[in-house]
Structure 1
Amino acid sequence: MFPPSFSEVTYLTFIKGKVHVFFFKVILTNIIIFLCSSPIGNTVSNLIMIIPPIFGAIQSVRDGLEKRYIASYLALTVVGMGSWCFHMTLKYEMQLLDELPMIYSCCIFVYCMFECFKMKNSVNYHLLFILVLFSLIVTTVYLKVKEPIFHQVMYGMLVFTLVLRSIYIVTWVYPWLRGLGYTSLGIFLMGFLLWNIDNIFCDSLRNFRKKVPPIIGVATQFHAWWHILTGLGSYLHILFSLYTRTLYLKYRPKVKFLFGIWPVILFEPLRKH
């Protein structure tokens, strides 16, 4: 058999390249479909509620911050891990591990916001009792009725309380914190809105995604966007609460951006003269 001519080699190389490009496009499309599918997207999107808060909790321990803020970061991590487990297994027990920590974490956020202007390491036992009792009542009722609307209403009440308290702080106490306060609230409420849209129009959105390319369908994965936005909004809310608290304690907090994109709070005690 004679060796192929230059033109034949060029032709074979061209065909081989076309095959490689074809298979690359197929593999890339499959990856996009895999990542954009509801179970995978809803699972992976929880990383924003797991990794950053863990680093926030570690930094809070190193900085010697009050335990309530360490608890805030860890509570957000628990929500993310519970949501990850639920969307990975779709089991009812894991759903409870997803939804009930949402109530508990918001109760911690409420406690932090209403204790921003108290003495360092002070404990408000009356408020703690009320929030613990609220959590127990919500848990007991939800386990009996198993009605998602009840959970959403209770969660919405806590969020509404946080909104009112945040508005009070940026309006009457620290007006220069409006940027951080309103950004955290805006992102969180946008996620909350998308979550409810997804709950109401779930079937319609699913049918729509079947008719459009996967890369477009990802934009309508509102439940995944809910995870991302509520994770970012909750994280920013912790920063807002922590900034308010350390400012009251006469520290000098500053918001810095790691790698120019991710916000963290750094502070140092006021120097004594």
Structure 2
Amino acid sequence: MNIFTSQCYPDIPKPPAWGAPESQANFCEEDYIITSYIAEFVNTLTNLTYIIYAIHGLRRLRGNSGGPFSFLGFPYWGLAAVGICSGYFHGTLKYHSQMSDELSMLVATGLVLHRVLTFDGTPAYRRNGAVILLGILIPISVYHCVADETLVHVMTFGVMIVAIGVKTRQLVRLRIKDSDVRMKVRKLERFGACCAGLGFFLWNIDLHFCPTLTKLKRRIGLPFGMLLELHGWWHVLTAICAYIFMALTEYLTSDNLALGDRIEEGFVWPVRAVLRDVKGNENQKKKER
């Protein structure tokens, strides 16, 4: 059989195993077109990207003080929760699964924000920071679920993302003294931001040009038409962005920032390549001295 042969999309969707979709959000991917058990097939499977990156982040912490359940591990657990809850939402398209997806985004972002704001404080300062953050996020989350609105949720998420970006840039400037190393880390930071921007752009194309995309996907056929499920690319690109900023947060807020041997150990693409380059740059300067 020729693997490059496309098959036509089914004309009638499969009977939904979880009942008719009832979520407020429903994306351009046709519902239950591949299987009765997954409402949006590509949008569900692409959430594995979040989970894979989270697993790599948690594996890196094995053997460290506290391990995966340490203060450093919380953001990666949040990233895994995003992948699981988002997959649950896209797989069922139910109201409660949509709420779990959207709330997991706030939790994961809040954990990173808490880390960058309180890493150099005392345990009491960290606890107080967590209480304040929860005091803000819990009422917003309750309102979001009860009112079934999106504006406050999106604004809260956006404000936290901007705050993390601003604080990360400050940490790069304050914690990395070598100008060459700082430049390499800033490039990684910009790459992560570009991934998020591209993902947001593709999401909007998926949102505003859905009829055209659907016609094109059906013309191309399966499986290659799946490459035009642009919300799925949003998942992949934002997972890369989230991992970059979580890894940078771990790197910049660790006590052993002084670029020792094997600093890149345990990180994965694209962070590992940059930190390996950073270590090589540092070793070369030591030889020159």
CA distance 1:126–1:74, change in 2 (3 Å): same
Rg: which structure is higher?
A: 1
Q: Does 1:76 align with 2:79?
A: yes
Unaligned segments of structure 2, at least 5 residues: 10-32, 177-181, 277-289
Query: Which structure is higher in helix share?
Result: 1
Q: Determine the structure 1 residue equivalent to 2:58.
A: 57
Give the letter aligned to residue 89 of structure 1: T
CA distance 1:245–1:115, change in 2 (3 Å): same
Structure 2 CA distance, aligned partners of 1:117 and 1:143? 34
Give the letter aligned to residue 188 of structure 1: A
The answer (yes or no) to whether the contact 1:42–1:224 under 8 Å persists in 2 is: yes
SS at match of 1:255: coil
SS at match of 1:43: helix
Unaligned segments of structure 1, at least 5 residues: 1-20, 267-273
Quote how far apart the aligned CAs of 1:122 are.
6.7
- For 1:1-273, what aligned pairs fall within 5 Å after superposition? 21=1, 29=7, 39-64=40-65, 67-118=70-121, 123-174=125-176, 175-176=182-183, 177-214=185-222, 217-246=225-254, 250=258, 252=260, 254-256=263-265, 261=269, 263-264=271-272
Structure 2 CA distance, aligned partners of 1:186 and 1:170? 18
Quote how far apart the aligned CAs of 1:78 are.
0.7
CA distance 1:79–1:62, change in 2 (3 Å): same
* TM-score, normalised with respect to structure 2: 0.70
Structure 2 CA distance, aligned partners of 1:126 and 1:239? 24
Structure 2 CA distance, aligned partners of 1:182 and 1:25? 36
SS at match of 2:47: helix
* TM-score, normalised with respect to structure 1: 0.73
CA distance 1:254–1:30, change in 2 (3 Å): farther
SS at match of 2:71: helix
Structure 2 CA distance, aligned partners of 1:160 and 1:171? 17
CA distance 1:38–1:168, change in 2 (3 Å): farther
Quote how far apart the aligned CAs of 1:232 are.
1.3
Quote how far apart the aligned CAs of 1:75 are.
0.7
Structure 1 vs Structure 2 CA RMSD: 3.3
Structure 2 CA distance, aligned partners of 1:256 and 1:249? 14
CA distance 1:200–1:134, change in 2 (3 Å): farther
The answer (yes or no) to whether the contact 2:39–2:91 under 8 Å persists in 1 is: no
- Alignment length (residue pairs): 240
SS at match of 1:254: coil
SS at match of 1:147: coil
